[in-house]
């Protein structure tokens, strides 16, 4: 078991211990950075994540694709997404979404080889590497101008070193897009830090201020920042009600229920109508959540001057 730093990696101040989701954490007394007291995650966890089979018709994969499209629509407002390297690309769905949108010269870096069949089938270029394993050479060789790190930084045992490595690898005026869960989000605080986003493999937990400081210490200039969520236009109704403060306690059971059809067409029509109404209500509540800012992720766009 690897012991984590006792002092904050950002401001080098002392920390205090606290429990979050039954995990022992350290929290900086000065800046509020949170990290696990023990970095006990086996590297094999990232080498075998069960991502070999990718069915684009699967409901969960479909939701992820919708989220990838949201990402592209958002970040393309700030950055030209060609000449891009996605670090920790996982299944490669972000790269596929960019490819489908006809962005050119897009590559990925991923230590896990399980999705290689999907990469090949979709003509995706993905290097089985890590940040420390030749990033600068890959970026230079492929004329990369933009690096993305989506939900990666929280998994690293030395996030500052990783940011510095990205900075050193990018050319002048190169951009970094980074996204991670917000430890100060409404959902996490309201659940008394017993939340699905707090789990063993997440070693560091950032808020807007600490992530900004991490990027600055890594050498970057901040260009833009904001908040978003996974597939934020289609949040589950019960989740939206919780975030809007209309449920005192979040219930984990699914809002969906099994419906048994009889042979009566009227019953089928009634179910279809109810499903349509439920969809409209769900989208409307999701938009309210976004408008109130009660989303779970923070993002930054940073530039190498």
Residue 150, phi then psi, degrees to nearest 5: -100, 115
Does the pLDDT of residue 209 top 80, yes or no?
yes
Q: Which residue has the higher pLDDT, 260 or 249?
A: 249
pLDDT of residue 272: 57
More confident call, 51 vs 3: 3
Name the least confident of 86-95, 106-115, 152-161, 281-290. Answer: 106-115
Task: Summarize pLDDT for 213-234 with one digit per residue, the tens.
Answer: 999 999 999 999 999 999 999 9
pLDDT band at 52 (very low <50, low <70, confident <90, very high): low
In the chain the domains, ranked by start, together with CATH numbers, are: 50-233+294-303 (3.40.50.150), 235-291 (no CATH)
Mean pLDDT, rounded, of the chain? 90
**By CB neighbour count within 10 A (0-12 exposed, 13-18 middle, 19+ buried), where does 208 fall?**
middle
Tell me what the mean pLDDT of segment 134-159 comes to: 97
- Please say if the pLDDT value at position 23 is more than 60: yes
Pairing assessment for the beta strands 23-28 and 175-181 based on DSSP bridges: unpaired
């Amino acid at each position: 078991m690897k012991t984590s730093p006792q002092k904050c990696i950002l401001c080098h101040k002392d920390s205090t211990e606290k429990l979050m989701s039954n995990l022992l954490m350290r929290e900086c007394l000065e800046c509020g950075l949170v990290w696990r007291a023990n970095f006990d995650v086996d590297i094999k966890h990232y080498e075998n994540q069960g991502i070999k089979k990718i069915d684009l018709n699967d409901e969960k994969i479909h939701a992820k694709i919708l989220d990838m499209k949201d990402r592209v629509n958002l970040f393309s407002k700030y950055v030209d997404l060609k000449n891009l390297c996605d670090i920790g690309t996982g299944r490669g769905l972000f790269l596929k979404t960019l490819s489908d949108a006809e962005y050119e010269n897009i590559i990925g870096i991923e230590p896990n080889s399980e999705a290689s069949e999907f990469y090949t089938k979709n003509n995706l270029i993905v290097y089985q590497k890590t940040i420390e394993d030749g990033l600068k050479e890959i970026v230079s060789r492929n004329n990369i101008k933009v690096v993305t790190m989506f939900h990666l930084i929280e998994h690293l045992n030395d996030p500052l070193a990783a940011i510095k490595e990205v900075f050193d690898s990018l050319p002048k005026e190169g951009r970094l897009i980074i996204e991670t869960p917000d430890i100060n989000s409404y959902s996490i605080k309201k659940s008394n830090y017993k939340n699905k986003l707090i789990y063993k493999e997440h070693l560091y937990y950032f808020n807007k201020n600490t992530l900004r400081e991490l990027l600055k210490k890594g050498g970057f200039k901040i260009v833009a920042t904001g908040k978003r969520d996974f597939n934020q236009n289609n949040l589950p109704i019960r989740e939206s009600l919780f975030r809007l403060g209309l449920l005192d306690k979040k219930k984990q059971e699914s809002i969906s229920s099994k419906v048994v059809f009889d042979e009566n067409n009227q019953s089928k029509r009634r179910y279809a109508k109810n499903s349509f109404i439920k969809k409209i209500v769900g989208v409307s509540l999701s938009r309210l959540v976004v408008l109130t800012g009660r989303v779970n992720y923070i993002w930054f766009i940073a530039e190498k001057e």
